[in-house]
A = this chain, B = another copy of it.
């Protein structure tokens, strides 16, 4: 790996590691004892590609990341969006089963997979933390699959509520990703995403301050759509 337009590894910068941590867990990724290195990725820069060696695990310090798979004909499925605090790239196999790119300029903490694994060998807290992250991702993935059987309006509603919960803005949600990213996450087209947002806006369930800046005027209405 280590390709793409990224900056040179900078000195390690301690991170605010609130998210992703359950009570009583080891502050994995938060100090030099495990040897993390932070890197900056430019907009659309590849962090790793499907099939590449899974030699590192990653944590978002700032910015946002999309993970995705592509079909042979170019159709793309965004499996997950990772926001500050999220850990990603942990795999059981030796190769990544999906690709990851920075959505916007992003600062990412890299930790050698071996460091984490060998640490887990001797420290059961680390092992449990590792497992709990994976289990949480599994749960998210299963809920994602649940999304994909819903109607377009329901998918958008669920997506907005999810993002509102994770981005916690000042009265509005500032989406880092494009309509295409959203479409590929929800299994829709950009046109349908756009139309659905317009429709929700016309029903004053939401308000579009800008295309990526959205006010949830009526969250409970979104929740009802969340069948």
In the complex, what distance in Å separates the CA atom of A142 from the CA atom of B143? 11
Interface string of A84-114 (1 = CB under 8 A from B): 0000001111000110000000000000000
CB distance from A184 to the nearest CB of B (A): 8
CB distance from A59 to the nearest CB of B (A): 18
Q: Are B148 and A71 in contact (CB under 8 A)?
A: no
CB distance from A167 to the nearest CB of B (A): 22
Interface string of A113-150 (1 = CB under 8 A from B): 00000001110100110111011111101101110111
A187's nearest neighbour on chain B, judged by CB, is: B149
What chain B residues lie within 8 Å of A134 (beta carbons)?
131, 134-135, 138
Q: Is A179 an interface residue (CB 8 A)?
A: no
Known: A97-B139, A138-B134, A227-B75. A69 touches B146 (CB 8 A): yes
What chain B residues lie within 8 Å of A122 (beta carbons)?
124
Interface string of A51-82 (1 = CB under 8 A from B): 00000000000000000010111010101000
Q: When the two chains form the complex, which single residue of B75, B92, B149 contacts A135, counting CB atoms closer than 8 Å?
A: B92
Known: A135-B134, A139-B97. A149 touches B148 (CB 8 A): yes
In the complex, what distance in Å separates the CA atom of A128 from the CA atom of B73? 36
Interface string of A30-64 (1 = CB under 8 A from B): 00000000000000000000000000000000000
How many A residues are at the interface, by size bracket? 35 or more
Known: A127-B128, A141-B145, A149-B77. A135 touches B187 (CB 8 A): no
A125's nearest neighbour on chain B, judged by CB, is: B121
- 30 A-B pairs within 8 Å (CB atoms) are namely A69-B146, A71-B146, A71-B150, A75-B149, A75-B227, A77-B145, A77-B149, A79-B142, A79-B145, A90-B135, A92-B132, A92-B139, A93-B139, A97-B139, A120-B127, A120-B128, A122-B124, A124-B124, A127-B128, A127-B131, A130-B131, A131-B131, A131-B134, A134-B134, A137-B138, A138-B138, A138-B141, A141-B142, A148-B148, A148-B149
Which 6 residue pairs across A and B have the least CB separation, nearest first?
A92-B135, A148-B148, A141-B141, A127-B127, A149-B187, A138-B138
